[in-house]
Structure 1
Amino acid sequence: MPVRPPALRLSIPFFALLICGSLCSLNVWADPEIAPPQRDAQDVTFFNDEVLPILQKRCLECHSHAAGKAKGGLMLDSRQGWVTGGDSGTAIVPGNLEDSPMIRAVRYVDVEMPPNGRLPPEEIAVLERWVSGGAVDPRKIDVAHTEGGIDLAKGREHWAFQPLRHEAVPDVKHADWPLDPLDRFLLARLEQQGLQPVEDADRYTWLRRVSLDLTGVPPSPEQIEDFVADQSPQAQERVVDRLLASRAYGERWARHWLDLVGYADEIGTSNNIFAEHAWRYRDYVIDAFNDDMPFDQFVREQLAGDMLPFDSAEQHASQVVATGFLILGDLTIVEADKAKLQIDVVDQQVDKFSRAFLAMTVACARCHDHKFDPIPQQDYYALAGIFNSTQSVHKASWGVWSWPTVVELPETVAQQADREAKAALHAERIENLKTEQRQSAARKTEIDAALKAENAVPADVESLEKERKQLDERLKQLPAEIRHAEFFAPRIPQAFAACDSPEPKDMQITIRGNAHALGKEVPRGFLQVVSIADPPVVSSQSSGRRELAEWIVRPDNPLTARVTVNRIWQRLFGEGIVRSVDYFGVRGEQPTHPELLDHLASRFRNDGWSQKRLIKSIVLSRAYRMSSRHDAVAFASDPGNRLLWRMNRRRVDAESLRDSLLATSGKLLDSQGGPSLPLEILENTGGLGKGEVNPPNFRLKKFRPEQQFVRSIYLPIIRDGRQAGPAELLNVFDFTQPAEFAGQRNVTSVPTQALFLMNAKLMRDRAGELADQVLSQHQDETERLGELWLRAFSRPIAPDEVSTATSFLHTARQDQNGQPPDQTDRRAWKELCHALLASNEFLMRL
């Protein structure tokens, strides 16, 4: 078989996406309800004798019910299968070879199928003759999924939809090992396999691990010394309580949630339109984690905060801001087809909601029943109707542009007084600018007259022309400054938030997702496969968001608690108990420890949905204390560490890396939040004038000086993924793009990461600052090395490392001949600090 060039090799999933690509609107054959063509005995014989054997041999292994596979959602074991096609349309256009993706695929035109080698020419010819002749296919298959809907009773047998099981905590042989009931579930499985967990990590490793996991930054030398000195049994618990009580905890764990929201400081990706109020939602999430808001309340507020009771203006404002969960996203604000925009926004909300709270891909049922999971198309539109009855976007005053819903927030009396005082000062500033503009224009007129006078002397002319030039430059600047000041004048606080439509109503099915091809109306409701007794009834007078929130957090909804504790486990152990953390569906991973998952879910729910309590119990467990040491015997039996015989090693994420660099060098600044985009800097904004064709926009030419030292969560997040300025590190180390909803990030190892660590100004600056810290605090070289190791690695330096580092410094000093001794010494230490900050030990969480 000839070898194909690597550039032409395509994976099966990629083929599947293309083969079911864009034919839904080509002709009537895209509609499975259209009757098949008339066929005679000769056509049927040709299909059975010539075509069917090729399909059975070459295709049905990956595209049939019998094989239990539908790559790209495409089934080829019946006429109904290829007419319905994959995720977007039919695979064969009878009578039309060029427009049939299946024929183009076997010809290796767009994609290459089968992927393991081209079909013989005679087999391709048979398929071409079949399609050219009308693609007669007498096959039918009696599958509920394609002919009569989804079997919900069978679907409920899937583990994720089963009620939480309350298994007894298992007995174990080594009863002295567990520190928490969760340890017994893990140890019991290990003992069943004849395995034992590795030894505990040393205290330094545990302290660095828990500090990075809970706050995103390593411990300071003082915190290390305090922990080492505390030899009481409560030492670890005191550390955990301190970390959970710190603002850094919320700043760290809020970032995990923002990955699921598609958060950014930009509206859409067109024309760099700033999301002026997005930061309020980010700060809401940080505060919610720090306040340990019960997770069920967290759900209610984000789905229906505007509909909940409140006791104060502050609480009301916070709950309204919370609904930014539904608004913030990759909005196509230049879509001229407003009906299409509306259903696309609803689709994004359905997708975000189902992934974040249920770890289900409900959005796959927009155009047809879900290909794998027990989610009929009707359920998609039952949920979609709730969001379609919610105001999320409206037509803007700029041409075809649209705008997310913005609401004014309630104020306390004190907040109103403070705003009015600031507004008065701001108005005075604007008036001063206008006065300066008038006076400058008048003075310029005077100068022009003086320069035209016949008695002007050469010295006066030179002075006047210089002043006139300065006035010209200032008069050019003042209109933009005035326009900027007027645009950003203090006003009643606003937020991107949801509210109910004036006339909530059920939604019609959109045929193949087409907003202008409407089908039957579907009553608003919830996923049928999640069996809940007496589910809430959606009121005809409201969207149903409040009822949806109550359905999500009902005690008999097993998904919410399972999904949440699995995500928490993944963030602490590197892998979830269900490794496909964002997908609990039929084709997702099975839980490695189902009894443990349900044990933790029940604890979480029974402890008042407290995330801090659950996290504390996990990080104080014996399982979390294990070292990450390799064990050959355990590895031979369980190479993937699915039974958790050791702690997983992993690289810190992008934000933690940047924040750790700042913390280690002593430059990390505290922040209380607020706007990330420096829109107060005139050069960063554009399009602020009235009558502009496009909305106001930003350019990010300048940053606030302090922004290079604040935590990464407070930096501007650009929706197109090109993070700028202080956030440039995020581009290199697998930051989740804001157009995605991801509970678990990809981790790559690419050359650009090493190049960044070696050459980036960020690395050089932090290394220099760390060197200055070490040099200023100690005179003795050995003491300096000890301090450096504590700061960089959170542990004492080993004797062999002392000799290696000393040798490194000696060589580095000799390489800088001709420099003053003090500069030579600093540069040597800076090089050593840079080497440590770029090392695996600094990058890894062990």
Structure 2
Amino acid sequence: MYKKTIWTIVTICSILLLAASCFRSKGSDVSSIPKTVSYNFHIRPILSDKCFKCHGPDGNKRAAGLRLDIADSAFAPLKETKGAYALVAGDPENSELYKRIISTDPEYMMPEPESHLGALSEHEINLFKKWIEQGAKYESHWAFASPKKIPLPKIDDKDRAKNEIDYFILSKLEEQGLAQNEEADKERLLKRIALDITGLPPSIEMMDKFVNDKTEFAYEKMIDELLASPQYGEKMAVHWMDVARYADSYGYQDDNIRSQWPWRDWVIHAFNKNLPYDQFLTWQIAGDMLPEANKEQILATGFFRNHKYTEEGGVIPEEYRVEYLVDKTKTFGKGILGITIECAQCHDHKYDPFSQKDYYSFLAFFNNTKEAGFEGDVSASKPAKNPILTISAEERKNILSFINTKDTGNLTVSVMGERDTLRKTFVLNRGVYDQPGEEVKAAAIPAVMKFDTSKFTRNRIGLAQWTVNKSNPLTARVFVNLMWQEFFGRGLVKTSGDFGMQGELPSHPELLDWLAVDFMENGWNVKRLVKQILTSATYRQSAKVSEEQLKKDPENVYLARGPRIRLKAEFIRDLYLSSSGLLVKTIGGPSVKPYQPKGLWEAATSGRGVLAVYRQDHGDDLYRRGLYTFIKLTVPPPGMTMFDASNRDQCEVKRLKTNTPLQALIMMNDPAVLEASRVLAQKLMLDQSAVADKITKAFRLIVCRKPSAKEVSILEKYYNEQLQLFQQKKSDATIILKAGEYPQSNQVDKNKSAALMKAINTIFNMEETITKT
């Protein structure tokens, strides 16, 4: 028995050693080690994966009293190994950390085999060795250091570059042994920029104009034309609605109506008039506190009032008032600064240098608002929570003309409002509203940038100034990254809501910094930034993917091909409404209630209030853009939810991407899609043209390119098959044509209309239709 036990131990040890040896044999090419090894970009990611479990910021799990995330601890004498140091600058052979990661002794090696973290690869070991030889220099977190605009990198193919962005992208591609795709054809390029700038497909007239424009600046002129259209503001507003958690109800059990839509009209207006981003933020943070603040600036502060509110009897007002402050703090941290500050609500942040005191000092900026934790029910005539901004019809005519409403009465919007006397703020023990601890004063996050009280006042005005100060390392970086994500589907920092130490490193850090500084240097000009990205050769590439590209870079991190992204839920709706001619392009105004399955609202809430029953709209209101679809927090619009729209119950900077059968079922069966197919079919039937020409026109309107002969042949064959079924009474055209409320045309043959409707619905169901390629 004894011999058997010894033999088992020896066998296990041998397997462990063999596994470690095999693991370390991977990636052992020393030539791939960078000239200068960076703590932030090379060493810390390995420490985070392999070492921080036992030697990181979590004091409860720390082993041997050793922290490897801070230099003071890493260079201090080891407590359990006399005379030894984890790190000795310039001397890896005497650094205990290095000796242990190269060891194969199960009793000595790190990470320990029982940790199941896996041994370091030869490449990782070589990184550590060179880093220590170079002095084992720790660096402050990259995102908390001010961005720098370095000179453009040298590249071999200068003729390929269209602007500065391309130098950074091409430099990385050359390192990876990849090359960019050729430029996309004009039809696909136009669809891409039209959807990215306006959220709408281009018209046939626009397609013909662009394809036939052979001048050098045709592409740039088209971008300028699209940027000047009022639909640009609507497209940009969709993302900001997610950040601001905009909805048309208050949430919680009763989930009654609210009237924040005038703030949404302001956001559209701000993007269309190209309000500089620093002002865009300043007005939303502290517009009510600006000197001689006007009603537009006050309206902008509705940004912070979009969170959920309770109307349930029996609640504790202070508990919910604190909940609202927590929501404001999280939204500001995630949406504007790109940090997970909310993790410090109950205790010091485990990974980022944010203490609980920092958190409540930050929360204190919002603690002086006049809003209450509980006000009771709202009514349909005045659906806003105090403090409110009242807007008269005269003010809408003369000052706030961008607000779109037919009503002649006053509008009310929930906005920010500051108390006359300062409310004290305390650190809350474990984040509990009724357990105050140490008193704190308003101050921004010191790890991000010092809140200098000689420059900034301890109120929201000071917070706004700190936020848009050009020395703030996060604000411009985060916004530039979000814009990049809008166009490429992935930010230069993939974790766009987390620029902290557990977030992903930027794929192109120098480009991110260059764009951030350039953005600030050019007056925080959003339209200029959009045009800058869209005119790059990187953006203009074909989206075709080769096997080599897919193997080397499946996520397109290095951008050797153009973006291929499914449209957001709102823009899928916009596409089928626009291409069918149904879209009502009215800008702004109250939200609308299009078709929806019966019984959803009624089954989800208490059954009280204005929104207890879903009352569908009719007429033009059925054909408004997805941006204006009414969002009830407890029951978001089901069709858009299936396409991963935000449910708006909290700040969201990046939507999930799913692919489910329900999405296909919606495109095949949603009354709105079927109605769009019917209406377009009946319009085309009025044309004096052949079936193939009608199909070609529909294809161009929907897919935004000319179909191939084979595609036309397939669709025409399907049309003929369906026509035969209708003519033989095997299918009932009358029933098919009942889709939607838009009036039917009596001037066309029903059977032919129904057959063409089926063919058009097939085009709507093509993957390419709802994909930006």
What corresponds to 2:266 in structure 1? 284
Equivalent-residue separation in structure 1 for 2:451 and 2:444 (angstroms): 12
Give the match for residue 643 of structure 1: 558
Provide the residue aligned with 1:76 in structure 2.
Answer: 61
CA distance in 2, matches of 1:761, 1:809: 21
Match of 1:528 among 427, 446, 450: 446
Q: Does 1:775 align with 2:685?
A: yes
Q: Deviation of residue 816 (structure 1)? A: 2.1
Q: Aligned to 2:287, which of 272, 290, 305?
A: 305
Structure 1 counterpart of 2:684, one-letter code:
V
Pair 1:186 & 2:169 matched: yes
Q: 1-side partners of 2:469 and 2:240: how far apart? A: 21
Instruction: Point out where structure 2 has 5 or more consecutive residues left out of the alignment.
Output: 1-46, 67-136, 401-405, 602-606, 734-747
Distance in 1, Cα, partners of 2:418 & 2:685: 61
Residue identity in the other structure for 2:61? L
Alignment of structure 1 residues 102-121 onto 2, 5 Å: none
Find out whether 1:717 has 2:631 as its counterpart: yes
Number of the residue aligned with 1:320: 298
Is the contact between residue 702 and residue 764 of structure 2 (CA under 8 Å) also seen in structure 1? yes
- Asked whether the 8 Å contact 2:384–2:412 carries over to 1, the reply is no
Picking from 545, 550, 571, the partner of 1:630 is 545
Q: In the alignment, which of 366, 380, 383 is matched to residue 345 of structure 2? A: 366
**Would the aligned equivalents of 2:278 and 2:524 in 1 still touch at CA under 8 Å?**
yes
For residues 692-707 of structure 1, the aligned pairs below 5 Å read: 699-707=613-621
Counterparts in 2 of 1:763 and 1:704: CA distance versus 1, 3 Å: closer
- Of residues 326, 331, 352 in structure 2, which corresponds to 1:352? 331
CA 1:65/1:174 → structure 2, altered by over 3 Å: closer, same or farther?
A: closer
2:753: which partner in 1? Answer: 826
1:796 is aligned to 2:706: yes
Give 1:559's aligned amino acid.
Answer: L
3-state DSSP class of the match of 1:783?
helix
Q: Distance in 2 between matches of 1:417 and 1:604?
A: 33
Q: Contact 1:261/1:325 (CA < 8 Å) preserved in 2?
A: yes
Report the AA paired with residue 291 of structure 1: K
Q: Check 1:667–1:68 CA distance in 2 against 1; reply closer, same or farther (3 A cut).
A: farther
Q: What is the alpha-carbon distance in structure 2 between the residues aligned to residue 228 and residue 62 of structure 1?
A: 51
* Contact 1:394–1:405 (CA under 8 A) maintained in structure 2: no
Partner-residue secondary structure (3-state), 2:769: helix
Give the greater-gyration-radius structure (CA): 1
Determine the C-alpha separation between the residues in 2 that align with 1:789 and 1:603.
41
Alpha-carbon spacing, 1:827–1:695, altered in 2? closer, same or farther (3 Å): closer
Compared CA separation, residues 222 and 566, structure 1 to 2 (3 A)? same
Letter in 2 for 1:337: I
Q: Deviations over 1:634-686 (max 9, x none)?
A: 3332222211100131111110000100001011002132222689xxxx9x9
Deviation, structure 1 residue 409: 3.7
2:650 and 2:394 map into 1 onto residues whose CA distance is: 40
SS at match of 1:495: strand
CA contact under 8 A between 2:384 and 2:413: conserved in structure 1? no
Aligned equivalent of 2:154: 171
Aligned match of 1:518: 436
Task: Kindly report the root-mean-square deviation, in angstroms, between the aligned alpha carbons of the 2 structures.
Answer: 3.1
Deviation sequence 1:270-305 (CA, Å, 0-9, x none): 213110x21011111111111111000011100100
Listed one character per residue, the Cα deviations across residues 454-481 of structure 1 (whole Å, up to 9, x for unaligned) are xxxxxxxxxxxxxxxxxxxxxxxxxxxx
| SS at 1:500 equivalent | coil
Question: Following the alignment from structure 2 to structure 1, what is the Cα–Cα distance between the partners of residues 440 and 456?
Answer: 13
* Alpha-carbon offset, residue 558 of structure 1: 1.2
Change (3 A) 1:417 1:163: closer
Aligned to 1:482: none
> Shift in Å at residue 535 of structure 1?
5.4
Please name the residue that 2:489 is paired with.
574
Match of 1:739 in 2: 649
- Report the equivalent of 1:805: 715
What is the CA–CA distance in structure 1 between the aligned matches of 2:48 and 2:307, rounded to whole Å?
39
Are the equivalent residues in 1 in contact too, given 2:593–2:621 (CA < 8 A)? no
How big is each residue's C-alpha offset from its partner over 1:514-566, in whole Å with a ceiling of 9 and x where there is no partner? 12211010121010012348456664xxx600100000000100100000000
Structure 2 letter corresponding to 1:317: K
1:26 corresponding residue in structure 2 = none
Q: Is residue 337 from structure 1 mapped to residue 310 from structure 2 by the alignment?
A: no
How far the C-alpha of 1:490 sits from its partner, in A, is 5.5
How far is 1:358 from its partner? Answer: 0.4
Q: CA deviation at 1:505?
A: 3.7
In the alignment, which residue of structure 1 is the partner of 2:366?
387
Q: Say if 2:679 is the partner of 1:764.
A: no
**Which amino acid is 1:386 matched to?**
F
Matched residues, percent identical? 30
- The answer on whether the counterparts of 1:155 and 1:529 sit within 8 Å (CA) in structure 2 is no
Aligned pairs for 1:138-153 (under 5 A) are none
CA distance in 2, matches of 1:211, 1:283: 21
Match of 1:749 among 659, 673, 677: 659
Q: CA deviation at 1:328?
A: 1.0
Instruction: Assess if the C-alpha contact under 8 Å between 1:160 and 1:584 holds in 2.
Output: yes
Report whether the alignment pairs 1:784 with 2:694. Answer: yes
Query: Residue 491 of structure 2 aligns to a residue in which SS?
Result: coil
Amino acid at match of 2:267: V
Secondary structure at 2:298 match in 1: helix
Q: Is the 8 A contact 1:156 1:162 kept in 2?
A: no
CA distance in 2, matches of 1:64, 1:226: 59
Shift of 1:69: 6.7
- 1:98-139 per-residue CA deviation (whole Å, 9 max, x = no partner) reads xxxxxxxxxxxxxxxxxxxxxxxxxxxxxxxxxxxxxxxxxx
1:555 aligns with 2:470: yes
Distance 1:513 1:155, change over 3 A: farther
Q: 1:805 to 1:489 in 2, by over 3 A?
A: closer
Deviation at 1:806, TM superposition (A): 2.3
One-letter code of the match for 1:407?
I
Q: Displacement, 1:156?
A: 7.2
| Number of residue-to-residue matches in the alignment | 620
Give the one of 814, 824, 839 matched to 2:766: 839
Q: Which amino acid aligns with 2:321?
A: Q
Distance of 2:251 and 2:65 partners within structure 1: 38
- Contact 1:272–1:699 under 8 Å retained in 2: no
Matched with 2:127 is none
State the Cα distance separating 1:802 from its structure 2 match.
2.4
Q: 1:830 to 1:697 in 2, by over 3 A?
A: closer
Q: Report the TM-score, using the length of structure 2 for normalisation.
A: 0.75
Secondary structure of 2:231's counterpart equals helix
Q: Which residue of 1 aligns with 2:725?
A: 815
Asked whether the 8 Å contact 1:265–1:274 carries over to 2, the reply is: yes
In structure 1, the residue matched to 2:387 is 406
Cα 1:618–1:403 shift into 2, 3 Å: closer
C-alpha contact 1:227 1:235 (8 A) present in aligned 2? yes
